[in-house]
Amino acid sequence: MHSHDTHTQNFPIIVQLLLAVPFLIALIAYIIAVILSNQHKKQWSHFRTIYWISGNLCAIITVIGPLASLMHHHFGAHMIGHLLFGMLAPLLMALAAPITLLLRTLPVNMARVLSLTMKNRYVHFIRHPIIASILNVGGLWLLYTTPLFDLMHSSLFLYVLIHIHIFLAGYVFTIAFIYIDPTPHPDSYIFRSLILLIALAAHSILSKYIYAFPPQHVPAEQAELGAMIMYYGGDAIEIILVFLLFHQWFKSTRKSIRLNRIPV
């Protein structure tokens, strides 16, 4: 990615801060919410707090610091950043159940407003498994198979916008398939499983495409390394996602069998 060096060395620290600060605020806000919630209600899960801290740290180290700088110049580092920022951070943060924590912490009237917002038609549309997959995996196809990837490294606006999209699309994709927070209008496990398998296949095919046809101005050896990181690293995170979905399905089936069992 040598062709980007002249542009990316001039990326001001303010751009990195612009992307990092929201995660820092989210990290602090969550811990404050846990403290407030624990004063009046049952103790909040330590595991959920650890998930939130870990997820935000994954995001922060991707957008500010040595990895963030290296990502501009080396495609392999860029792909590590993609895994951390677009896949692992959203998964960990979804597992932290932030909406449930907010509903526990907010005053009743504000909690009702949040609850109604979650039932909003637009929210339901965006988090539909097919739409979430198009926004997430489709967005990656657009990024890596068009000049957009090259343009991102010479435009501060595009750089920020694409990073925001990658994280949000990754988060929406995660919550479209595994339900941790309250989910109005849930989709069936069979439907979610089928769409997830198609989306994961599209992600794997993209990594093979990158291996064969590197993005503009990316040297072949860097593209091959990045594609392998995307393929194998993506698989590792996707296995966790599949496991969680199937685990929830198993628990749901066992519960319904128990409820439907007629006493002799």
For residue range 109-121, what is the model confidence (pLDDT) as tens digits?
A: 999 999 998 888 9
pLDDT band at 14 (very low <50, low <70, confident <90, very high): confident
Of the pLDDT bands very low, low, confident and very high (cuts 50, 70, 90), residue 49 is very high
Chain centroid, CA 154 distance in Å: 25
153 versus 63: which is more confidently predicted?
63
Q: Are 117 and 102 in contact (CB under 8 A)?
A: no
Pair 96, 48: CB distance under 8 Å: yes
pLDDT at 73: 87
Which pLDDT score, from 0 to 100, does residue 263 have? Answer: 52
Tokens of 90: 């959203």
pLDDT at 3: 43
Output the pTM of the full model.
0.91
How far apart are alpha carbons 18 and 2 in whole angstroms? 25
pLDDT, residue 257, reads 76
At residue 6, does pLDDT exceed 70? no
Residue 185 binned pLDDT confidence (cut-offs 50, 70, 90): confident
Inter-residue contact 132 to 179 (CB < 8 Å): no
- Work out the pLDDT band at 2, boundaries 50, 70, 90: very low
Closest CA to 62 of 98, 37, 86: 86
C-alpha 44/C-alpha 120 separation (Å) is: 27
- Quote the CA–CA distance of 171 and 132 in Å, as a whole number: 9
Query: Which residue reads 């801290």 in tokens?
Result: 53
- What's the chain's length in residues? 264
Cβ-count burial 181-198 (b if 16+ within 10 Å, e if not)? beeeeebebeebbebbee
**Is residue 136 over pLDDT 80?**
yes
Mean pLDDT (whole number) for 232-259:
90
| Residue linked to tokens 């997830």 | 196
On average, the pLDDT of the chain sits at 91
Residue 258 pLDDT more than 90? no
Output the pLDDT for position 255.
76
